[in-house]
Amino acid sequence: MNRASDTKAAAADPGKQVSVDSLKSAALDMRRDILNTIAEAGSGHPGGSLSAVELLASLYYTEMRHDPSNPDWPERDKFILSKAHACPVLYVVLAHCGYFPKDELKTFRKINSRLQGHAHTTTPGVEMSGGSLGHGLSFGVGAAMVGKIDGSSSRVFVMLGDGECDEGQVWEAAMSAAHYRLDNLVAIVDRNGIQNDRFTSEVMNLEPLADKWRSFGWHVIEIDGHSFPDVLGALEEARSVKEKPTVIVAATVKGKGVSFMENNPDYHGRAPNAEQLEQAMKELAG
């Protein structure tokens, strides 16, 4: 398939039907580039990038109205990566969509690069400068308020980490989004169960997480974050929810796709070495 033409079509046609097979192939491609990018940099965050691949592929290839040749298009839908350490997955999808040359991924985390170690607005297509957890949902509330003030149909998607939900600001933002009935705002929690040091259940119990969002006035959808039918279905459902914001709690696997990274806290923030990269590429050969 020709993903570039799919992407351009998505800019004009939100909710565009893209076959699950082609999305799966795009996801495999993204995983390979995520690991190549982090290995080339010698540092970065593979675990939480790999867990979010299907979610970002679905957003950028089917759901969002966006135009890689015009990143500042005022009517665009916005994706905000609140867990900004997972920027490799964002940079890779942006490069694949054509926001900047794929070759530029090799400059990640290096001097004079537009691709900073945590997502920053120097990169074409990156909406928010982040790097400290808890900011993104509030930023999304502000962006969604603009849609309400201006009567625009632009929608806002914010991806949060599950460990990030330890931050009190997330819940300040959750309250304000429900209070102002921001139905143009969708939060996606990448529920991969691991944060920087350990499993989320060991660091700080988050459960019942879905009930927490419900009690804050959100429409909650729980899905398997690696199942394209699940993700696409949830995004479609979110489009029809009115008068309240929607959160998609996506159960995912940290390090998804690479056996030795899966569900392993060591790969939250560690680059693969040459041997590990080779092994990973074999597993991701498709």
Subset of 114-143 contacting other proteins (CB under 8 A): 120-121, 127-132, 134-136, 138-143
What the block records as the tokens of 141 is: 């509330």
C-beta closer to other proteins: residue 131 or 217:
131
C-beta closer to other proteins: residue 19 or 132:
132
CB of residue 181 to other proteins, shortest distance in Å: 12
Tell me the site size for other proteins, rule CB under 8 A: 29
CB of residue 154 to other proteins, shortest distance in Å: 8
Helices (H), 13-163: 20-41, 47-50, 53-58, 87-97, 136-150
CB of residue 169 to other proteins, shortest distance in Å: 4
Residue-wise DSSP of 249-274? EEE--TTTT-TTTTT-GGGSS----H
- Quote the CA–CA distance of 122 and 127 in Å, as a whole number: 9
Q: Residue 100 gets which letter from DSSP? A: S
**CA–centroid distance for 4 within its chain:** 19
173 binding other proteins? (CB under 8 A): yes
x-or-dash string of contact with other proteins, 142-161, rule CB under 8 A: xxxxx--x------------
Query: What is each CA distance from 189 to 40, 52, 80, 241, 275, in whole angstroms?
Result: 28, 10, 12, 18, 32
C-beta closer to other proteins: residue 142 or 286:
142
Radius of gyration of the chain (CA): 17
x-or-dash string of contact with other proteins, 73-102, rule CB under 8 A: -x----------------------------
Query: What is each CA distance from 197 to 47, 168, 264, in whole angstroms?
Result: 12, 19, 10
Binding region for other proteins (CB under 8 A):
74, 120-121, 127-132, 134-136, 138-146, 149, 168-169, 172-173, 175-176, 180
